[in-house]
Amino acid sequence: MTPHDYDFLRTLLKQRSGLALSDEKQYLVESRLTPLARKTGLGTLDALIQKLRGPDAERLTVEVVEAMTTNESFFFRDKTPFENFREVMLPALKAARARDKRIRIWCAAASAGQEPYSLAMTLKEMAREVEGYRIDILATDISTEILEKAKSGIYSQFEVQRGLPIQYLVKYFTKIGEMWQITPDIRAMVQYRPLNLLRDFSNLGSFDIVYCRNVLIYFDQPTKADVLSRIGNIVTHDGYLSLGAAETVIGLTDLFKSVPDRRGLYAPNKSVANVVKFPSRSVA
């Protein structure tokens, strides 16, 4: 791949997905797009790039973006965000929503579904505490291919061994050949929808909890600030934002502030006047 071709791909990916690739990431592009070139019958990476430069390249462009933005995930990743969910977010919101008994959760960049399903299993384990409450989980990702996998709830032995407690595997999964499938009741707790974080998402309505983990790290600073600002406008005044271990709002937006002693957890900064707060929630 020539430097000119690499610059073309970097610009394309930045425009379509927000992915900001450094000069040192050419190996990553080659490792992910060479198999795609073979899969699509183009054979080589050079032929794929030539096709991308031509007319009628939209479908291939989508496949390229999906190949480059599909990142691994695993159940109960990093543990802390799920401890925060059980110990901080859910108890506070349960008390605050005692009248309407509804809580909305958005998992942005949900990948193959391990994060939203981890939340769904957590809620099942807390059934007594949340009895009578309607808790909606919306999971989105830019990749329609990975969302199909998420909807199926089918995972390999390797995938279920990563982070999933054995008791949850026994309770919430069924063995299908060499694979494992999440039970229908858990799958029914999560709604999936394709969504590009670079596009307007205000039509999703408001959310009490937003998980936007391990995706901002791929964006440049202006894109991070823009996404966080727009998330700030759809989080309820007493809601929460959960970011990845390597992510922060510091220096990017003043719409959120850290929750003391809770790593990766943020709450709306109520002293900031332009935070938009919704009195009610629209159905996603």
- Catalytic entry in 5, 136, 141, 208: 141
Residue 141 annotated in active site: yes
Q: What separation, in Å, do the N-terminal and C-terminal C-alpha atoms of the chain show? A: 43
Establish whether 32 is a catalytic residue. Answer: yes
Distance (Å, rounded) from C-alpha 66 to C-alpha 49? 15
Taking the C-alpha atoms of residue 210 and residue 104, their distance in angstroms, rounded to an integer, is 9
DSSP per residue, 4-62: HHHHHHHHHHHHHH-----GGGHHHHHHHHHHHHHHTT--SHHHHHHHHHSSS-HHHHH
What span, in angstroms and rounded, lies between the C-alpha atoms of 171 and 168?
A: 5
Distance separating alpha carbons of residues 44 and 35, to the nearest angstrom: 9
C-alpha span between 206 and 219 (Å, rounded): 24
Structure token digits, residue 44: 């080589």
Residue pair 110/150 in contact (Cβ under 8 Å)? The answer is yes
Query: Which is the catalytic residue, given 32, 86, 102, 162?
Result: 32
Q: Give Cβ neighbours of residue 56 (< 8 Å, ≥ 6 apart).
A: none
In the three-class reduction of DSSP (H, G, I as helix; E, B as strand; rest coil), residue 99 is classed as coil
Q: Which residues are catalytic?
A: 32, 141
